[in-house]
Structure 1
């Protein structure tokens, strides 16, 4: 499923959209809706957002950030593994704890691991994971290649979380990959930044701008798909 995605809207259960706004997002031509957030995500608000998105015919996937907010009924479950985290718990520790506790309930055929490379130290995710965000392009590419070759991760996700990143670095990571799909997220705020990100990645994830300027967010769909 993810192999055909070029554009994805990421929606936060802890933030609000009217019915009209959500309809515009889901009918925009985007390839999928990703549900997830770094804070304030609960079972109840995740269920609510999923049920609203389910009114539309497009893939709806959950990016798991909190075990208490894992909701059945999504098409896929994306599991972040932070490759450049200082705390190994964010690479495999918390994941093994989850498997120990809930392994018998996990629909493994619906689980997609993502190898995150977090490059904004001021972001919530960067602070939470103590990610080493001062990476050169060569080192970031090495993280991506290690994730692909040593861990067989289907997705490498370069995340700048709210700021538009170094597209040359992103391009370096993409060139290092042969099979993994490169997701890019961070600072995509209009058609121009969307097109620039699309030129150096396989899938562009658009999030925050949905809540601050919906019209510009909708413009990113065709900007990405036209590249």
Structure 2
């Protein structure tokens, strides 16, 4: 993936292959004016449900990227690919281990020009991703800043993703992360269930990711697009 391709994204919807969405709901999401759709989830992701969701999204002109979290869910045909590296865990398998396993299996097939690493910082201890990866979620501002500098300056990752997953986060911390980053784009996701929260997140981060609310209140999810774009 080339950096320019996602550097203009302000609003993104994230769809989970393991959750049901009707054709009517998907049509509303894909024609909403969002900048892109990211496909990905923390559990239950398979080749079959990922390729099915991709095929349905592909009927629309919206950019579509895959967040590769499992080898089973690695599907060709997306516009781009994100590979998450969890920065705030002591378990090496979630920083380089699983990624290296994937490259042993599929390294010669990776479309490198369409692939980018995401430096994930998971900040909600109740999130499935935090429990699976053993993320150390209680970070001070100094610790968060250090993680962002590690990702942005030392690792030169193109994306730093602050993930609160189901809970609306501390926007002051998100702003600090964005101010600290010099070349990485700061993505924010978590707890955005109305236009006002979407606006706050857009003021704090470069890119706002809206996910869970899609499945419980579609109208509220759709309202986040204009809220973000008007900031």
Report the TM-score, using the length of structure 2 for normalisation. 0.97
The residue number in structure 2 matching 1:113 is 117
CA distance in 2, matches of 1:222, 1:138: 33
Structure 2, gaps ≥5 residues long: none
CA distance in 2, matches of 1:61, 1:200: 23
1:86 is displaced (CA, Å) by 2.0
User: Equivalent of 2:142, from 108, 118, 138?
Assistant: 138
User: Equivalent of 2:202, from 179, 198, 202?
Assistant: 198
Secondary structure of the equivalent of 1:116?
strand
CA distance in 1, matches of 2:143, 2:177: 9
Residues 24-54 of structure 1: per-residue CA shift (max 9 Å, x gap): 0000000000000011111111111000000
The residue number in structure 1 matching 2:52 is 48
CA distance in 2, matches of 1:158, 1:66: 20
Runs of 4+ in 1 over 6 A off after TM superposition: none
The residue number in structure 2 matching 1:156 is 160
CA distance in 2, matches of 1:46, 1:68: 9
User: Equivalent of 1:220, from 202, 206, 224?
Assistant: 224
CA distance in 2, matches of 1:56, 1:102: 28
Residues 94-125 of structure 1: per-residue CA shift (max 9 Å, x gap): 11121122211111111110000000111100
CA distance in 2, matches of 1:132, 1:106: 30
CA distance in 2, matches of 1:53, 1:73: 11
Residues 60-93 of structure 1: per-residue CA shift (max 9 Å, x gap): 1000111111111000010000010120110111
CA distance in 2, matches of 1:226, 1:138: 31
Residues 112-151 of structure 1: per-residue CA shift (max 9 Å, x gap): 1000000011110000111111101221121011101111
- RMSD over equivalenced CA pairs, Å: 0.7
The residue number in structure 2 matching 1:88 is 92
